[in-house]
Amino acid sequence: MSPTEAHSALAEPSMLCVSIHDVAPCTWDECARLARAMRQAADIRLTWLVVPRYHGRPGNERDERAMRAGLDAALARGDELALHGYTHLDTGERTVSLRQRFLRGVYTQREGEFAALAAEEARERIALGLEWFRQRDWPVSGFVPPAWLLGEASWRVLPEFAFSYTTTFARFHLLRQGRSVLAPSLVYTARNIAGRALSPLAASLAARCMAQAPLMRFSLHPPDVRHPRLVAHAQRLVERVLATREAITKAECARRLLALSPVP
């Protein structure tokens, strides 16, 4: 495929990946409400980022049944499930780096589970998560680390598993090929008043700046649905970008990116 053909194949249409993070029994109601809100705007395929033991809790039986039925239905309609860590809690060793202390302790509020794990622990948690998926007969081709943080040891471990992709905040990574695409995620900050006021503006600006980019990522979290203004903004944003983009799952995005530049 020539560079011109590759550019055309990717750009027409460009891609939009909408993901719902932190999917677990205890967050299921809010996650399901987010999905319904998105589909009121457009009937799109979603990627659900599922956490097997969110905050160390397995979830009660009723919520587990509701989540399982909902995700089975999502798969049947063409959505994707991705492994989103195991506990979504950062229990790794403390760091002396000011940048890491800010990212892990303040910005992500100790939710970056894979930010500072040793290789053995990272390997064990991924294996436990994959076994949890296997017990439910759920396919999985992607791994998205909680808070998009991956420490050096976790990066080394990922190629041991059959994931086709991972994502960090700024990039979409094709793991088997060792390549990545710049695609910063659009995301809201719902936990405080300033974040709720400013993050929609930032998301709109980022969407305009990325108008010509081949891939746009939009990440939603359970707390977003508690704020009607954020939900309404998300619906308008998705409606607007779908005028020039096709909404696909992250797994499909990985397949398309690989097809553009296959390994010799």
Distance of CA 232 to the CA centre of its chain: 20
Distance, in Å, from the CA atom of 92 to the CA atom of 113, rounded to the nearest integer, reads 7
| Domains annotated on the chain, with CATH | 3-80+127-139+163-260 (3.20.20)
Dump pLDDT digits (tens) for 149-196. 999 999 999 999 999 999 999 999 999 999 999 999 999 999 889 999
- Location of structure tokens 């203004």: 229
pLDDT band at 141 (very low <50, low <70, confident <90, very high): very high
Average pLDDT, the chain: 89
CB neighbourhood size of 236 (10 A):
13
For helices 61-76 and 28-41, what crossing angle results, to 10°?
30
Burial of 76 from C-beta contacts in 10 A (0-12 / 13-18 / 19+): exposed
Burial of 166 from C-beta contacts in 10 A (0-12 / 13-18 / 19+): buried
pLDDT value of residue 110: 66
Model confidence, pTM? 0.90
DSSP class per residue in the chain: --HHHHHHHHHTTEEEEEEEEEE-GGGHHHHHHHHHHHHHH-----EEEE-TTGGG----HHHHHHHHHHHHHHHHTT-EEEE--SS----SPP---HHHHIIIIIISTT--TTSS--HHHHHHHHHHHHHHHHHTT----EE--GGG---HHHHHHGGGS--SEEE-SSEEEETTTTEEEE-PEEE---SSHHHHHHHHHHHHHHHHHTTTSSEEEEEE-GGGGG-HHHHHHHHHHHHHHTTTEEE--HHHHHHHHHHHS---
User: Residue 18 is encoded by which pair of tokens?
Assistant: 């909408």
CB neighbourhood size of 128 (10 A):
14
Q: Does the pLDDT value for residue 19 go beyond 50?
A: yes
Phi–psi pair at 117, nearest 5 degrees: -75, 150
More confident position, 36 or 8: 36
Q: Does the pLDDT value for residue 106 go beyond 50?
A: no
Q: Does the pLDDT value for residue 11 go beyond 50?
A: no
pLDDT band at 262 (very low <50, low <70, confident <90, very high): low
CB neighbourhood size of 167 (10 A):
28
Dump pLDDT digits (tens) for 117-135. 999 999 999 999 999 999 9
Dump pLDDT digits (tens) for 42-96. 999 999 999 999 998 777 889 999 999 999 999 999 999 999 999 988 775 666 4
pLDDT band at 260 (very low <50, low <70, confident <90, very high): confident
- Location of structure tokens 């659900």: 48
Looking at residues 95-107, what average pLDDT do you find?
53
